[in-house]
Amino acid sequence: MLAVDLPYWAQSLLRVLGGTVAVLLPAGTIVYLFLFKMMSFMQSRLGPMEAGPYGSMQLFAEVGKWLQKEDLAPDGADKRIYRMAPLVVLVSTFLLVAVVPFGPDAYFTNFDAGVFYMLAVSSISTLGILMAGWSSANKYSLLGGLRAAGQLIAYELPMVLAVLGVVIQAGTMNLQQIVVKQNSDSIFGWDGLGNPYILTQFIGFAIFMIAVQAELTQTPFDMPIAESELVSGYMTEYSGFRFLMFFIAEFATAGVFSLIASVLFLGGWGVPFSWFGWDATTGSVDNWMNVAGPIIMITKMMALSGIIMWVRFSYPRFREDQLQRFAWKVLIPVSLLNIMLTAILKVAF
Amino acid sequence: MAAPKKPQVPGLLKGLGVTLNTMAQTLKPKKLGGGAATVQYPHEKETPPLRARGVIALREDNCTSCMLCARSCPDWCIYIEGHKELAPPRRAGGAPRKVNKLDRFDIDYALCMYCGICVDVCPFDALFWSPEYEYSEPKIADLLHDKTKLGEWMETVPEAPALEAGAEKKKGK
């Protein structure tokens, strides 16, 4: 353990600051690196080049633009709910990051029902989206909101079921312990790599990433915000700061889900414990991992969100019925089979 | 109804490959034949194709103010005024000729939609396309180009490309 003993208020302040950084920093990086630059390169253009070197200050320009805009609400809107909706979506992102462990002692909370909490909290954003769609008094928003709700419910299930495989194999719902387990386990006695669950739970990983793609309503699952037919769905009526919140939430959640995926499947903050002779049971992990851990996590997060964005920029949109069919007829049965197989192997070995 | 054909996995991977290749191509240095398909406009300029429809130039001497262009313009953005003058006769002892003199020939580029009908319809080769495209103005009224300005554009009109083999004009009788 760290030898620092901080009073409660200082700890809380640190946590709030850390949480804000852990949400906003990945969001900004993802937007600049992937949305602005990678997407442009994939379309054979350079993207923003004027604001700062290689357009790196573009994000500040965009935020500044949004902050200047008027905060509009339609006449028929349910004003209070309309104003609350983006906050609800953003809050769900902040709540999600609370359970992600960044190092042996670098975490916001460390509690046993982490996976359960993560899955529960991630569906709060559905509520916010439905609120936004309903309260906007706009048929496009309503359609978008309903589509989003239908899609998020459909893809929540495979996500839960995919994570269950990991939980069965690790024997714990505590994200911190899942990380420790992955790094201290061995593959048939060989412990040079630990045992990242992407190897044993590859199906689970694939399903999880597909479900994340759908949860984030990124293309090919962007039916709810299909800008060419629904003029951005539930976001149609939002402007200025509230639109900015939706925007941040979209990319921050992409970052946080990538963090969670790297915790669940890629070994999280850890390096294989056998490299430095650490013992998982006594918790003898060196303190410097609290600094190296976040860096390792961010690297894995960037790789995973890079894949999410790459897929987003490559594929055309699913039709609504294809989207639902894919979730209920393919992903859910496959993930159920995966759970059964995991359970049988867990008992057998 | 037959079930829609399911997407094939190799096709999906191929799609990812296309975007990845484009990215690699864009990131490759210019020297190696890479780079983006776009041009960073104010810093480097694109050379428009020879026959690009940039701006319409006027050769005043050829114009007879016959008004065909003004009448065929869908936007009514050409304004012509002229009068007749007497010019010395071609042969000694002949009657003086009547020629049309242009007082005004304006094209309002705020209205023009670059259809090129005026250029096509002109029977006296007085109007030409020029590939020049940088003539935006802070004030919309300044987009009305008068005959002096339209005449200046003539310098930017490229030489007509040589005719293809076998497409020579028939010799007149």
Say what the ipTM of the complex is: 0.70
Question: Is A41 in contact with B22 (Cβ distance < 8 A)?
Answer: yes
Helix (H), strand (E) at residue A184: helix A175-184
Question: Is B20 in contact with A43 (Cβ distance < 8 A)?
Answer: no
Report the residue from A43, A49, A322 with minimal CB separation from B40. A49
Report the residue from B4, B12, B23 with minimal CB separation from A41. B23
Residue B141, in any domain of the structure: yes
Collect all residues with Cβ–Cβ distance below 8 Å to B138 and sequence separation of at least 6: none
Residue A298, in any domain of the structure: yes
Q: Which residues of A touch B18 (CB under 8 A)?
A: 314
* DSSP reduced 3-state for B106: strand
B19 touches chain A (CB under 8 A): yes
Residue A148, in any domain of the structure: yes
Q: How far is B167 from chain A (nearest CA, A)?
A: 39
Provide the token pair at B117.
Answer: 């009908």
Q: Which residues of chain A have pLDDT under 50?
A: 1
Report the pLDDT value the prediction gives residue B172, as an integer from 0 to 100: 56
Q: Which residues of B touch A44 (CB under 8 A)?
A: 22, 25-26, 36-38
B38 touches chain A (CB under 8 A): yes
Q: How many domains does chain A have?
A: 1
Amino acid, single-letter form, for residue B32: L
Residue B143, in any domain of the structure: yes
* DSSP reduced 3-state for B102: strand
Burial of A224 (0-12, 13-18, 19+ CB in 10 A): buried
- Dist CA A313 CA A39 (whole Å): 6
Residue A65, in any domain of the structure: no
Q: How far is A69 from chain B (nearest CA, A)?
A: 25
Report the residue from A42, A46, A49 with minimal CB separation from B19. A42
Report the pLDDT value the prediction gives residue A284, as an integer from 0 to 100: 66
Residue A288, in any domain of the structure: yes
E strand residue ranges, chain A: none
- Dist CA A139 CA B55 (whole Å): 45
Residue B63, in any domain of the structure: yes
Residues of the domain holding B111 = 55-77+107-156
Residues of the domain holding A190 = 70-348
Report the residue from B4, B15, B23 with minimal CB separation from A315. B15
Q: How far is B20 from chain A (nearest CA, A)?
A: 7
Residue A203, in any domain of the structure: yes
Residues counted in chain B: 173
Q: Which residues of A touch B22 (CB under 8 A)?
A: 41-44
Average pLDDT, 10 consecutive residues per value, chain B (173 residues): 68 84 84 79 84 89 88 91 86 84 89 91 90 89 89 86 74 55
CB atoms within 10 A of CB A43: 16
- What does the pLDDT look like over A3-20, one tens digit per residue? 567 788 888 888 888 888
Report the pLDDT value the prediction gives residue B16, as an integer from 0 to 100: 86
Residue B27, in any domain of the structure: no
- Dist CA B34 CA B17 (whole Å): 17
- Dist CA A324 CA A146 (whole Å): 13
Residue B48, in any domain of the structure: no
Nearest Cα residue in chain A from B38 = A45
Report the pLDDT value the prediction gives residue B1, as an integer from 0 to 100: 61
Residue A26, in any domain of the structure: no
Report the pLDDT value the prediction gives residue A282, as an integer from 0 to 100: 59
CATH number of the domain bearing residue B114: 3.30.70.3270
Provide the token pair at A48.
Answer: 């923003």
Q: How many domains does chain B have?
A: 1
E strand residue ranges, chain B: 55-58, 78-87, 97-108, 127-130, 144-145
- Dist CA A336 CA A26 (whole Å): 32
Question: Is A41 in contact with B18 (Cβ distance < 8 A)?
Answer: no
CB atoms within 10 A of CB A247: 20
Q: For A201-259, give the DSSP string.
A: THHHHHHHHHHHHHHTT-TTS-GGG-HHHHTTGGGTT--HHHHHHHHHHHHHHHHHHHH
Residue B34, in any domain of the structure: no
Report the pLDDT value the prediction gives residue A281, as an integer from 0 to 100: 61
pTM, two decimals, is 0.78
